[in-house]
Amino acid sequence: MIAYLLRRLVTMLVTLLVISALVFIIIKLPPGDFISNQIDELRSQGDDASTAKAEMLRAEYGLDKPIWYQYATWVGLWPGPHGLSGLLQGDWGWSFEYQVPVRDVVGSALAMTMIVNLATIIFIHIVAIPIAIYSATHRNSIGAHLATFLGYIGLATPSFLLALALLFYLNRWFGISVGGLMDPQYNEEPWSLAKIGSVVSHLIVPVVVIGLAGTAGMIRRMRANLLDELNKQYTVTAKAKGLPPTRALIKYPFRVTLNPFVADIGNILPSIVSGSVLVSLVLSLPTVGPILLQALKMQDQYLAGFILMFVALLTVVGMLIADLALAVLDPRIRLGKRGA
């Protein structure tokens, strides 16, 4: 087990290193750099941005250095102007766009992102699991058909469209301000009960919108898995031996259907941070998604690079956790080499 863990950790490190190189190269691929992008953007808005300071800024940000040097100092493999200080040393770099360390930009956004996405994941599970169980055990009933129908609608509706419609009507009917994660006036206030209430009321739209497609997908998968198990002989045997119906359902078939979801942790963990970019953008949520998009567009390379690396880290960690959890949940699964 320990040998397995160590082996996994080493692979993870190598994977992350390869990802970091790929991420950096892809960010740098488009023509120009942050400075030229910024000047272009200002000019296209009519702003007569001067190029006079461009060279100076380029030198200041180290954008005039070769790409391998920029990469190596970012990761912390090579000493930069401030010594050996990069991701490996816990320095996340500098955001050109916001003019503050990446840590300060991402910090509060990360917390908000996690709140939104955790709420969404909880919403998905709370809604999807009972519906899935119901529609699997009551096949061909009206309720099951209705659930299926709603599920398909949920899958098919473009989330951003639904988001805009919900925003509009919630504002009109309940006076909830449009977009954001709280009423604008709370932005400058310290945390209070009213502020939390405002956040909760603003969570409704994003959670429902982001969660809808996920819920529908989850209902379909869960239902299919459960149906497979319900027809298996052990379930029939359990029922024949007189186990109460609920126990016969929850104790054995339900547990087996959970396996795919545990395996899913590897995907859920990164999506806590990077999920829902489009909806966040439409709803103007102060989450990581819009920041990442803007950073990529402007080639704010260290900010974009850090967010992508963070997501990558969550993915590999999530995979590891999923593998370990599966082994605990299902004794049939063995870790390590085949046949070992």
Partner 1 sequence: MMSLARTVWMACLVALATSLAPARAETGLLEQPFFKERVDKGELPPIAERVPRTPIVVDLDDRKRTIGRYGGDLRTLAAKARDLRYITVSGYTRLVGYDETLTLLPDILESVDNQGDRVFTFTLRDGHKWSDGEPFTTEDFRYYWEDIAKNEELSPSGPPDIFLVDGELPKVEFLDDRHVRYSWSKPNPRFLPSLAMPRPVYIYAPAHYLKKFHAKYSDPEALAKKAAKKKLTSWAALHNKLEDPYGASNVDMPTLDPWRIVTPAPAQRFIFERNPYFHRIDAAGHQLPYVDRVVVDIAAGSLFAAKANAGEVDILSRGLATTDVPVLKQGEAAHDYKTLLWPIARGSAFALYPNLTTNDPVWRALLRDVRFRRGLSLAIDRHTLNNALWFGLGTEGNNTVRPESALFSDTNLKQWANYDVDEANRLLDAAGLTERESSGTRLLPDGRPAELIVEVEGEAADLIDALQITAEFLADVGIKLIIKPQESANLRQRSYAGQTVMVAAQGLDNAIPTALMQPTELAPVRQDNFAWPKWGQYAETGGKAGEPVDDPGAKLLMDAYDRWMTSSETSDKARAWQELLRLNAENQWTIGTVSGAIQPIVISNRLRNVPNKAVFSWEPTAMLGAYRVDEFYFADEDDAGPSQ
Does position 90 interact with partner 1 (CB under 8 A)? The reply is no
Under 8 Å between Cβ of 312 and 75: no
| Residue with Cβ nearer partner 1 (140 or 174) | 174
Binding partner 1 (rule: CB under 8 A), the pick from 35, 70, 71, 97 is 97
Q: Does 94 bind partner 1 (CB under 8 A)?
A: yes
Q: Is the Cβ of residue 189 or residue 228 nearer to partner 1 in the bound state? A: 189
- For the record, the structure tokens of 52 come out as 């006079």
The beta-strand segments (E) located in the chain are 94-95, 100-101
64, 104, 228, 330: residue in contact with partner 1 (rule CB under 8 A): 104
Name which of 40 and 330 has its Cβ closer to partner 1: 40
Distance CA 103, CA 274 (A): 17
What is the Cα–Cα distance from 312 to 291, expressed in whole angstroms?
A: 17
Touching partner 1, residues 149-178 (CB under 8 A) = 164, 167-168, 171, 177-178
CB-wise, 44 or 140, nearer to partner 1? 44
Would you say 221 and 135 are in contact if contact means Cβ atoms under 8 Å apart? no
Among 29, 44, 140, 191, binds partner 1 (CB under 8 A): 44
Nearest-angstrom CA–CA distance, 212 and 124: 8
Task: Return the SS3 of 34.
Answer: helix
Q: How far is the CB of 211 from partner 1 (least distance, A)?
A: 20
| Residue 81 interacts with partner 1 (CB under 8 A): yes or no | yes
> Is 304 near partner 1 (CB under 8 A)?
no
301 binding partner 1? (CB under 8 A): no
**Nearest of 316, 315, 302, 312 to residue 91 by alpha carbon:** 302
Q: Look at residues 146, 136, 155 and name the one whose alpha carbon lies nearest to residue 216.
A: 155
Among 37, 215, 274, 287, binds partner 1 (CB under 8 A): 37
Q: Using alpha carbons only, how large is the chain's radius of gyration in Å? A: 25
Stretch that binds partner 1, among 67-75, 90-98, 233-241, 314-322 (CB under 8 A): 90-98
Residue range at the interface with partner 1 (CB under 8 A); choices 11-19, 38-46, 256-264, 317-325: 38-46
In this chain, which stretch among 18-26, 183-191, 197-205, 322-330 interacts with partner 1, using CB under 8 A? 183-191
| Tally of CB atoms within 10 A around 308 | 21
- Amino acid at residue number 86: G
If binding is defined by CB under 8 A, does position 43 make contact with partner 1? yes
Out of 13, 14, 100, 335, point to the residue binding partner 1 (CB under 8 A).
100
* Look-up of token digits 């320990």: 2
Q: Please, what is the Cα angle at 24 between 63 and 273, to 5 degrees? A: 120
Q: Phi and psi dihedrals of 83, rounded to 5? A: 80, -170
Structure letter (DSSP) for residue 91: -
Q: Which residues contact 4 (CB under 8 A, 6 or more apart)?
A: 335, 336
Pick between residue 225 and residue 280 the one whose CB is nearest to partner 1: 280
Q: Are 332 and 286 in contact (CB under 8 A)?
A: no
CB of 94 to partner 1, least distance (A): 5
The two tokens of residue 271 are 């999506």
Q: Is 108 a binder of partner 1 (CB under 8 A)?
A: yes
Residues that bind partner 1 (CB under 8 A): 30-32, 36-37, 40-41, 43-50, 52-53, 55-57, 60, 81-82, 94, 97-101, 104-105, 108, 164, 167-168, 171, 177-180, 184, 187-188, 281-284, 286, 290, 294
